[in-house]
């Protein structure tokens, strides 16, 4: 079909080929399976007892749930990005390409912890297995151990959506001041309930 349009376009300057090179079919990538509150509680409890994982891993996963950030955004959290109760994710690591300020709750701030043992200098990666020199990267192996502790296989990449849905549920009825908000770039969509359209039935 494209070749036929190209042939005709070459012979008629008023005709524009409706098929643009590089166009790909776009599928529906919306996720319609998220963890229930009970399943999330199972994950949280398993993080307190899971074995054979790096010491930073339970704190790392809990930080994903509490901040609703993406895996690599949290895994590369650096002490230089923290200012009191604010965490600034730099533009080159954030989806929108602009700096993003994440206010940290008391629970999230506690997960940051102290300076890693063996860290040199005055700055370090928060979730690390190398004394602060590099951010955490051992996702697959640690996830397998967590699955064993839970006794199931929840999809780790769903954590951000689950947490956001939890904020957006009508049952929560919390004041906006109690919900984490992002003060740079786009506001946290969960605050305004725009994720409700993706909420499974029964939630």
Contacts of 7 (CB under 8 A, 6+ apart): none
All structural domains of the chain, each given as residue ranges with its CATH number in brackets, are 37-198 (1.10.443.10)
Beta strands in 39-155 (DSSP E): 82-83, 86-89, 100-103
Mean pLDDT score, 69-74: 94
Nearest CA to 37 out of 2, 65, 76 is that of 65
* Chain-centre distance for alpha carbon 18: 37
The answer to whether the beta carbons of residues 165 and 30 sit under 8 Å apart is no
The answer to whether the beta carbons of residues 57 and 132 sit under 8 Å apart is no
**Between 20 and 70, residue with greater pLDDT:** 70
The answer to whether the beta carbons of residues 62 and 56 sit under 8 Å apart is no
Lowest mean pLDDT among 19-28, 137-146, 170-179: 170-179
Highest average pLDDT, of 54-68, 114-128, 172-186, comes from: 54-68
pLDDT tens digits, 113-163: 889 988 888 899 999 999 999 999 999 999 999 999 998 655 554 555 555
The reported pTM is 0.65
Q: How confident is the model at residue 197 (pLDDT cuts 50, 70, 90)?
A: very low
């Amino acid at each position: 079909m494209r070749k036929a349009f190209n042939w005709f376009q070459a012979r008629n300057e008023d005709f524009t080929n409706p098929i643009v090179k590089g166009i790909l079919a776009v599928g529906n990538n919306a996720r319609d399976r998220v963890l229930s509150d009970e399943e999330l509680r199972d994950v949280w409890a398993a993080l307190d007892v899971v074995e054979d994982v790096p010491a930073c891993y339970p704190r790392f996963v809990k930080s994903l749930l509490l901040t609703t950030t993406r895996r690599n955004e949290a895994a590369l959290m650096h002490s230089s990005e923290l200012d009191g109760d604010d965490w600034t994710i730099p533009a080159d690591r954030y989806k929108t390409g602009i700096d993003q300020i994440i206010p940290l709750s008391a629970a999230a701030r506690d997960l940051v912890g102290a300076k890693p043992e063996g860290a040199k200098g005055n700055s370090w990666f928060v979730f690390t297995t190398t004394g602060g020199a590099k951010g955490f990267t051992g996702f697959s192996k640690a996830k397998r151990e967590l699955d064993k502790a839970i006794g199931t296989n929840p999809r780790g990449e769903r954590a951000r959506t689950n947490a956001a849905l939890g904020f957006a549920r009508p049952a929560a009825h919390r004041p906006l001041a109690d919900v984490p908000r992002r003060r740079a770039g786009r506001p946290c969509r969960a605050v305004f309930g725009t994720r409700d359209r993706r909420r499974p039935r029964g939630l």
